[in-house]
Structure 1
Amino acid sequence: MIDLWRARWQEGRVGFHLSQPHPALERYWPSLAVPDRAKVLVPLCGKTLDMRWLAQAGHPVLGIEVAPEAIEQFLAEATTPVSRYQQAGFNISRQGSIELWCGDFFHLHIQQAAEVGAFYDRAALIALPEATRQRYAFHLAQLVPPGAKGLLVSLTHEGGESGPPYSVANQEVETLLSPNFRLTLLEESEPDDRGLCEKIWRLVRRGPLN
């Protein structure tokens, strides 16, 4: 799977990348009332401009990405100085209030995500094949504290398990995430000319609050 994503970035097959922040992020993030300065976890972040939007909204960002090509492209799009270091198997680049950790999301430990207070998944769940999605949902739940809020973008299409992006039905989203999150379906788009239908979810991590 790692080799697949690196090949896509190396070959420029990244049609999923948007040249502007996702409209749903701008539309719904303020309604989450995430505390000021809460760090936002962005799994499988690619070079999404959503991270810059979150940073401009006052949030430190922790992006996890397996393809160094994506990280270098993201960093090159701004003139802000970059600092680099290593930690526990990750190559880390910091640009302003954005930290990009290059490595396997499943190797990120809860101690490394200790400051995370919110999360945003635009292209992580739908980037993973069915056999890996349950592992992802469980690992995400381990990394965010009770009460943490986030947005999830899922989609369905007629291709089923052809992907990425993969088609993930609403029922599967609920089955995977409802054990550890309270879910609210905020928006469901009409299918586009490719048959893609996007869904926007509000998630809140279950569990006792401190």
Structure 2
Amino acid sequence: MTEQWLKRWREGRIGFHRATAHPALERYWPTLNVPRAAKVLVPLCGKSVDMRWLADAGHPVLGVEFAPQAIEQFVAERRHEVLRYHQAGFDIVRQGSIELWQGDFFHLHIRQVAEIEAFYDRASLIALPKPTRQRYAFHLAQLVPPGARGLLVSLTRGDEKAGPPYSVSNNEVEQLFSPNFRLTFLEQSPPDERGFIESVWALERRGPLS
């Protein structure tokens, strides 16, 4: 899977990338009532301009991405100072209030994300084949603290075996996340020209059982 995505970035086959912020982010993020200065985790972030939107809204952003091409293209789009350093297996690029960690999301440790208070997933879950999605949902739950809120954009498509992006049903979203998160279904889009249907969810990390 990793090599497949790296090949796509090398060849510029990134049809999943949006040139503007996702409408669901603009519409629903304010309803989550995430504190303005809360740090937001963006797994498998690519070069998403949604990170710029979150930063402009006052949030420090920590994006994690395996493809170095994505990170370099992201920072090249702004003529702002770039700081580079290395930490525990990750090459880190910082531009303004956005940190981009180049490496394997599953190697990210809770000690490295102690300041995270919120999260955003528009293209992470749907980038993963079915056997990996359970691992992703569990790992995300380990990284964010009780009470952390986030937005998830999932996708279904006519050919359920095709991908990436992969089709993830609403039932599967509930099965993956409900053990550790409270889920609120927000909206479902009409099919686009490719037959893709997006669903938008608000999530809140559950606290320990009393």
Q: SS at the partner of 1:182?
A: strand
Cα deviation, residue 34, structure 1? 0.2
Give every structure 1 segment of 4 or more consecutive aligned residues whose post-TM-superposition deviation is greater than 6 Å. Answer: none
Partner of 1:13: 13
Across the aligned residues of Structure 1 and Structure 2, the Cα RMSD in angstroms comes to 0.9
1:79-124 Cα deviation digits (max 9, x unpaired): 1100000000000000000000000000000000100000000000
Query: In 1, Cα distance between the equivalents of 2:39 and 2:29?
Result: 14
Partner of 2:108: 108
Partner of 1:40: 40
Is the Cα contact below 8 Å between 1:129 and 1:161 reproduced in 2? no
Q: SS at the partner of 2:25?
A: helix
AA matched with 1:197: I
AA matched with 1:182: R
AA matched with 1:28: Y
Query: In 1, Cα distance between the equivalents of 2:35 and 2:12?
Result: 36
Q: SS at the partner of 2:134?
A: helix
Partner of 2:137: 137
Indicate yes or no: 2:94 matched with 1:94: yes
Partner of 2:176: 176
Partner of 2:123: 123
Partner of 1:78: 78
AA matched with 1:177: F
Query: In 2, Cα distance between the equivalents of 1:129 and 1:57?
Result: 32
Q: Which runs of 5+ in 1 are unaligned?
A: none
Query: In 1, Cα distance between the equivalents of 2:76 and 2:161?
Result: 34
Between the aligned residues of both structures, percent identity stands at 72
The number of aligned residues is: 209
Query: In 2, Cα distance between the equivalents of 1:107 and 1:73?
Result: 23
> Quick check: 184-193 or 9-18, which moved more?
184-193
Query: In 2, Cα distance between the equivalents of 1:208 and 1:97?
Result: 31
Cα deviation, residue 208, structure 1? 4.2
Cα deviation, residue 182, structure 1? 0.4
Query: In 1, Cα distance between the equivalents of 2:198 and 2:47?
Result: 20
1:129-169 Cα deviation digits (max 9, x unpaired): 00000000000000000000000000100111210000000
Q: Report the TM-score, using the length of structure 2 for normalisation.
A: 0.98
Q: Which runs of 5+ in 2 are unaligned?
A: none
Is the Cα contact below 8 Å between 1:130 and 1:161 reproduced in 2? no
AA matched with 2:37: R
Q: Report the TM-score, using the length of structure 1 for normalisation.
A: 0.98
AA matched with 2:78: A
AA matched with 2:146: P
